[in-house]
Amino acid sequence: MLTHKESNLDISRNLFDAALFDLDGVITKTATLHALSWKSLFDEYLQKTGKSDTPFDISTDYPLFVDGKPRYEGVKSFLESRGIILPYGSPSDPPGKETICGLGNRKNLIFQELLKREGVTVYRGALALIKLMKEKNFKIALVTSSKNASLVIKSAKLEGLFDIKADGLDLEHFNLKGKPHPDLFLYAAQKLGISPSRSIVLEDAESGVEAGKRGNFGMVIGVDRTGHGEVLLEKGAHVVTSNLSQVTVDGEKPDITLPINELPDAREVLERVKLELILGKKPFVALDYDGTLTPIVDRPELAALSKKTKKTLQRLKKVATIAIISGRDLKDVKNLVGIEGLTYAGSHGFDIESPIELKKTFREGEAFLPNLDKVESILRAKIQNIEGALIERKKYSIAVHFRLVNPERVKEIEEGVDR
């Protein structure tokens, strides 16, 4: 069995015909909004009634009592954990009424307000995997306990992506049991006309993974967004991954360009990296200058590249594409490294020069040059008499160095910069 630290997960079209995706935490980042909504609801209720001194803990209470469950079941589950028993009430109860349904409706109102204010962010890896699976003629279902699925899909502009949708409204209409019972997944598979054994469940919630296991689905993929991969495996996931962009279909990778904050930790996908190198892929290596290629020093002009590091870069250049990215001016960092054939990005990317005939200066920065000139003059007037202070003017930025300043006078520099 694969663990959540392994990444060589390949889905075979010969073995499976459908994929059933959960929504919150798998496709969209709305799980955070749900968690905040639950905390707001329960903390408000517990404080108001004085029925418990222990507030709702997102790290423990959310995955254990509410994540993945239908809203009213989540309310009941959490309150019972605090020894609180309330009447069920009716789905028509006004938000906040002291019933299971009333509190559930209050949570829904809080969530919708957060959704309207914050919007929806989509996990690009999940979206790319869905598109790849559709190209391979997989049937794709959206399966979620949420009654807000249509609202979230519209907000995220995902209309038309799924062959069918099974949500909290279906749970209520057909009187199905919520997760960890498999009813909703089985309903979705039946609606697609695909047997569970030929279907894949993708879930981030412990209750959802358990539902996939109980339904005897052919594969259950746990999606670990919060570091609880081992628990998902214990609940029945066949494999756990932290990023769906790492999943391949018949050996083909999803077509995706990920932002840095969604890239997997290289240490966790080292085997995948080795495999790509063996297959002849040429790596791209981006390196900072100060503090990465050279030690941090007291004065910027003292940051010199060692002979050993320079030789290492020259060796690496033979097998990889290298970019040196720095806050220094382009000409400065290029002279300091002194190796031809590399890509250099100065001024934090505002000025780029590359051997592939790329010489680009982003004109957005040009408009701010007069302002930078004024700021430089003001800063020099304010701190020029502070011993050890150094102002380094770059084309598109100004750096104020104070490593050599007496600690008692650092606050003067901070105040001068803030003004």
Write out the catalytic residue numbers: 22, 24
Residue 311, token pair as written in the block? 């030789």
Whole-number Å distance between alpha carbons of 245 and 255: 8
CA distance 307 to 296: 17
Burial of 269 (0-12, 13-18, 19+ CB in 10 A): buried
Residues 6+ apart with CB under 8 A from 210: 179, 180, 235, 236
Q: Of 182, 154, 184, 140, which is closest to residue 166 (Cα–Cα)? A: 184
Please, are residues 165 and 191 in contact by the beta-carbon 8 Å criterion? Answer: no
Residues in the chain: 419
Nearest to 7 by CA among 216, 276, 377, 193: 276
Rounded distance between C-alpha atoms, residue 296 and residue 292, angstroms:
8
Quick one: angle between helices 100-118 and 31-49, nearest 10? 130
3-class secondary-structure state, position 346? strand
